[in-house]
Amino acid sequence: MIRSNGLRLRERFINLAGRLYLLKKKRYAHKAGITVLNYHRISPSSFKKHLEYIRAHYNVVSPEVFLDWLCGKKFIDTQSVLFTFDDGYVGFYEKIYPILRGTETPAFMFVATGLIGKTSYFWADKLEVAVQKTNVCAVTIGDKKFYLYPRVYRADFYESIVRHMRRMDEGRICETMEDLFRQLKVKITENDMKGHRLLDWSQVLEMEQSGIVVFGSHTVNHPNLRNLTNEEVEYELVESKDTLESHIGKKVGAFAFPYGGPDSFNEHIVNEVGRAGYVCAFTTIQGKLAVDREDKFRLPRVLLFDYQDQGAVALKLDRYQ
């Protein structure tokens, strides 16, 4: 994630609100159920703080227990959380997995199988690095202009560009990326991208065999499924599941939509996920799970970020109880 020097004003306000909340927080009995937490990238120092608070106040369930609960095979009588991670960065294996293993904290990891073991990167990550490096003040995409100054708001500007581009098909994204790099006037190196490297299959297998990390599908190429043909959607869902199962030697029951917002799937795609043999599908729409657990293919999650301190985590989790 792009960061200016120190935290942005909005992030400081969120953490301040969280600290005040902790000071006044009353202990009360949470309703039994499971809240699904979602991370993409997080530093080990921040994650340790999050984990310390969460383990002190919630029961952590494994992916296996979650799937049983979701299908009505398991009863949960405590307020619990499930950890999920998306995208499969090497940083997870190097820095977060040891923490999970050391504390025996289980988690889901969702990976795009076509990128595992490759020197490929997500286009949004390459754009992030380029936006960090450039001295250009603005770029245009079609007839829309995106400003990159002042630098203090650069993370917001970058996120606006990504939201705009997510609606494009893969061919248009490639064309737009080429044009943006010409406008940004920067070249990125392998060293620039080292923090964005993705897992290889040996790392996937090691974590899966540990019993700590359970892998789920995040498609083959991480596209916005709504931009694909019906045949392409089927390929992304079925091929990723088959590939993952062939490598880890286990059935894959869980899927996470790339991007995960309301504009990344529709009714047809949701039905295709079920037809592909998945038990459930996760979105990035923030919220709590429905008590009746009927909509297993549009599961909400609570997104947590590196900048959030324990107070902010407490405030956000209690908001979705």
- Structural domain includes residue 316: no
Residue after which a domain boundary falls, among 196, 213, 248: 196
Tokens 């029961």 belong to: 59
Tell me, yes or no, if the pTM score tops 0.95: no
Q: What is the tally of structural domains in the chain?
A: 2
Q: What is the CATH number of the domain that holds 270?
A: 3.20.20.370
**Cα–Cα distance list, 96 to 40, 67, 147, 162 (Å):** 11, 23, 34, 26
CA pair distance 3, 169, nearest whole angstrom: 28
Burial-class residue 88 by CB neighbours within 10 Å (0-12, 13-18, 19+).
Answer: buried
**5, 4, 24, 17: which is closest to 308 by C-alpha?**
17
CA pair distance 173, 192, nearest whole angstrom: 21
CA pair distance 67, 61, nearest whole angstrom: 10
**CB contact at 8 A, 276 and 241:** yes
Residue after which a domain boundary falls, among 137, 169, 196: 196
Alpha helix segments (H runs only) across 72-145: 90-91, 97-103, 123-133
- Structural domain includes residue 321: no
List the pLDDT tens digit at each of the 321 positions of the chain: 544 444 676 777 677 776 776 776 655 455 678 999 999 999 999 999 999 999 999 999 999 999 999 998 888 888 899 999 999 999 999 999 999 999 999 999 999 999 999 888 999 999 999 999 999 999 999 999 999 988 888 888 999 999 999 999 999 999 999 999 999 999 999 999 999 999 999 999 999 999 999 999 999 999 999 999 999 999 999 999 999 999 999 999 999 999 999 999 999 999 999 999 999 999 999 998 876 667 899 999 999 999 999 999 998 998 877
**CB contact at 8 A, 231 and 270:** no
Domain housing 232: 31-73+86-119+198-304
Q: Are residues 14 and 60 in the same domain?
A: no
Q: Are residues 191 and 204 in the same domain?
A: no
Give the pair of three-digit tokens for residue 178.
């080429």
207: Cβ–Cβ under 8 A, 6 or more apart, which residues? 93, 97, 109, 213, 215
Q: Are residues 141 and 281 in the same domain?
A: no
Q: Are residues 203 and 274 in the same domain?
A: yes
Residue after which a domain boundary falls, among 175, 196, 217: 196
- Structural domain includes residue 318: no
